[in-house]
Amino acid sequence: MPKVFAFVLAAGQGTRIGDPVPKQYIALAGKPMMFHSIEAIGAVSRVDHLFVVLAPLDRHWAAHDWSALPDKVEAAFVGGAHRGESVLNALKHIESRASKDDWVLVHDAARPCIASELVEQFLDEIGDDPVGGLLAMPLADTLKRAEPDTQRVEETVPRTGLWRAQTPQLFRYGILRKGLERKITATDEAEAVESIGQAPRLAEGENSNIKVTFSEDLAIAEMILRHKGRAKT
């Protein structure tokens, strides 16, 4: 049976949130933000190993208590200057343990509200796919394209068939590595896989699986975690 390796990407600085502490370490519901992602994915029994991908000079990880996390969780100080480099470095980090048909599940530390049940459902849906896929949500809002100089509407963009990409994203080790070696600048793993002519499969996610980008998102994420009973009391 193919193994499932999980990466939680936590090497960025998250400057848009306006905090001097890297975003993934900001306190959220009584824990560092990324604790919630790691805990949820680590609780999925089909995940064999979980690597928290950190910047090589990260000095914050050791300052926190991670003892509540399962033994399958391991810090990997191999993060790069951008997402694609971080994932490729992590793939190289596990190359002696992984085969080309093993699964690699990649999740953002800044999506702390991911639920273990959603990850299980995602693995059920994508786990027999020859390529892999990603969680995403169909667009519900009307889309406008702006004229760049005036910021006036240039056109209304049909939303039919358009989805908002989320994480986790799940791909075969060999396919994902080949895609990233071809397109290291990809903004997500699916784009890298698309660059080698593969078509990732879309699996519907949840609106609660938000990405914390701005300071106001912290309150929303904490509300979701408390609603799900995952906040420290």
Closest alpha carbon to 157 in 145, 146, 147, 141: 145
What pLDDT, in 10s, does the model give residues 18-69?
A: 567 899 999 999 999 999 999 999 999 999 999 999 999 999 999 999 999 9
Closest alpha carbon to 4 in 86, 126, 109: 126
Closest alpha carbon to 170 in 125, 83, 105: 105
- List the beta strands (DSSP E) in 25-102: 27-28, 31-32, 49-54, 73-76
Q: What's the chain's average pLDDT?
A: 95
Question: CA 55, 56, 58 angle in degrees (round to 5)?
Answer: 60
Token pair recorded at residue 185: 């600048």
Hey, what domains does the chain have and what are their CATH numbers? 4-227 (3.90.550.10)
Closest alpha carbon to 61 in 11, 14, 100, 101: 11
The residues, ordered by sequence, that sit 6+ positions from 216 with a Cβ below 8 Å of its Cβ are none
What pLDDT, in 10s, does the model give residues 80-123?
A: 999 999 999 999 999 999 999 999 999 999 999 999 999 999 99
Q: Which residue has the tokens 């690597």?
A: 51
Global confidence as pTM = 0.94
d(CA 23, CA 26): 5
Token pair recorded at residue 229: 């009973």
Q: Give the bridge partners for 221, in sequence order.
A: none
Asked if residue 32 lies in contact with residue 218, where contact means CB atoms within 8 angstroms, the answer is no
Token pair recorded at residue 17: 């949130």
At 230, is the pLDDT very low, low, confident or very high (cuts 50, 70, 90)? confident
pLDDT given at position 19: 61
